[in-house]
């Protein structure tokens, strides 16, 4: 839905004021309230649902599969998503999935998923975005974050570990040494603990010299551009600029502004 010219100029000038005035009066770094729940899908290792107050809703389920990790380049995380009302091969899908996949692969150590010697877990992260009014990246990333926190992996029976190390030396093609797991789900271990928590990817909109987190659809529509910030355990680990609208404006010529803005986001 296009905005009218006067609406657009009103919003753009409100956002680029110093201090800015967002249409809903929020602070630059203030999020909208959301409704979140975890562990909603019983057939998954971890799941979560987040609803935003503007009607955006996202459900994520995570399945862990045991794979053989003989090759070094095997991808241990796969992110897929489905967006209601958007074709399944759209650039938006690719953008969401690759952004999160990259963030996860860069921060998730392989040791965290390895089971024993040859075997490792592979995480399949599937999301469905039931509705979105604002850009779905923040919503999707937060839901994945919550689902990963909720993810539990079955507990390994240690005796199997010992058996595999002794036999695997003779021949690696034998199906012996398969990992054995505790059948009691109560015994399962969470994927995340104090040593590692999942990364978060946020979209922030730039307008003039201001940066806005959790932008609404109209804010993203009039903004000069956006930055995608990957955040992991208190640090910014990734940064990208994206266009939120097809404008010919040259936004990122003043890189100093972006850096300045970023330091404010981080702090």
Partner 1 sequence: MADGDRSDEVDAEDDDDDSEDERLFSLDPEADGDARITGVVKGKHIVTPGELVTSDATWMRGHGTYSVGNSTYSSVAGTITRVNKLLSVTPLRGRYVPEVGDHVVGRIIDVGTRSWHVDIGAKQAAVLMLGSVNLPGGVQRRKSESDELQMRVFLKEGDLLNAEVQAIFTDGAASLHTRSLSYGKLRNGYFLNIPSSLIIRSKIHTLELPGGVDLVLGVNGYLWLRKHTQQLGEQGVSITRLAEEAGWEIYSDENEYISPSIRETIARYANAIKALEFGEVGVNEPRVVAAYEASLEFKNVGEMVENDAKRRIARQVLAARS
> Contact residues for partner 1 (CB under 8 A)?
1-7, 9-11, 13-14, 17, 21-27, 30, 32-33, 53
Q: Beta partners for 48?
A: 38, 60
* Distance of closest approach, residue 133 Cβ to partner 1, in angstroms: 12
User: In the complex, what is the shortest distance from the CB of residue 12 to partner 1, in angstroms, rounded to a whole number?
Assistant: 10
Q: How far is the CB of 219 from partner 1 (least distance, A)?
A: 12
Which residue number, 27 or 260, has a Cβ lying nearer to partner 1? 27
Nearest approach in angstroms of CB 39 to partner 1 is: 23
Strands 119-131 and 77-83: parallel
Neighbours of 228 (CB within 10 A): 20
Is the distance from CB of 82 to CB of 129 less than 8 angstroms? yes
Burial of 122 (0-12, 13-18, 19+ CB in 10 A): middle
Q: Write the CA distances from 2 to 133, 218, 255, integer angstroms.
A: 13, 9, 29
- Distance in Å, CB of 209 to partner 1, minimum: 15
Residue placing its CB nearer to partner 1 in the complex, 52 or 108:
52
Q: Which residue number, 60 or 142, has a Cβ lying nearer to partner 1?
A: 142
Please, which residue, 24 or 65, has the CB nearer to partner 1? Answer: 24
Tell the smallest beta-carbon distance from residue 76 to partner 1 (Å): 38
Q: How far apart are CA 120 and CA 74, in angstroms?
A: 10
Q: What is the separation of C-alpha 102 from the centre of its chain, rounded to a whole number of angstroms?
A: 9
CB atoms within 10 A of CB 20: 18
Shortest Å distance, C-beta 217 to partner 1: 12
Q: Residue 157 and residue 137: Cα distance in Å, rounded? A: 39
Residue among 18 and 194 whose Cβ is closer to partner 1 = 18
Nearest to 64 by CA among 181, 208, 159: 181
Helix (H) or strand (E) holding 34, with range, is strand 34-38
DSSP-derived letter for residue 86 is S
Q: Which is nearer to partner 1, 34 or 66 (CB)?
A: 34
**For partner 1, the closer CB: 126 or 214:** 214
């Amino acid at each position: 839905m296009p905005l009218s010219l006067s609406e657009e100029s009103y919003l753009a000038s409100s956002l680029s004021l110093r201090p800015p005035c967002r249409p809903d009066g929020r602070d630059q770094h203030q999020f909208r309230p959301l409704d979140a729940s975890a562990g909603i899908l019983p057939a998954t290792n971890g799941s979560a649902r987040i609803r935003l107050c503007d009607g955006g809703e996202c459900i994520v389920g995570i399945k862990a599969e045991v794979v053989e990790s003989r090759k070094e380049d095997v991808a241990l995380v796969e992110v897929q998503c489905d967006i209601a009302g958007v074709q399944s091969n759209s650039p938006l899908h690719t953008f969401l999935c690759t952004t999160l996949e990259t963030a996860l692969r860069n921060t998730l150590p392989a040791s965290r998923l390895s089971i024993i010697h040859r075997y490792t877990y592979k995480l399949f992260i599937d999301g469905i975005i039931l509705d979105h009014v604002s850009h779905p990246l923040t919503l999707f990333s937060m839901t994945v974050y919550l689902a990963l926190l909720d993810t539990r992996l079955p507990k390994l029976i240690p005796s199997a570990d010992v058996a595999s190390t002794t036999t695997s030396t003779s021949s690696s093609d034998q199906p012996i040494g398969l990992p054995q797991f505790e059948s009691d789900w109560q015994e399962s271990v969470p994927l995340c603990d104090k040593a590692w928590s999942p990364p978060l990817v946020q979209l922030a909109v730039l307008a003039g010299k201001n940066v806005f987190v959790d932008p609404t659809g109209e804010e993203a529509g009039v903004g000069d551009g956006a930055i995608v910030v990957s955040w992991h355990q208190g640090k910014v680990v990734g940064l990208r600029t994206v266009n939120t609208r097809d404008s010919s404006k040259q936004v990122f010529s003043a890189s100093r502004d972006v850096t300045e803005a970023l330091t404010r986001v981080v702090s």
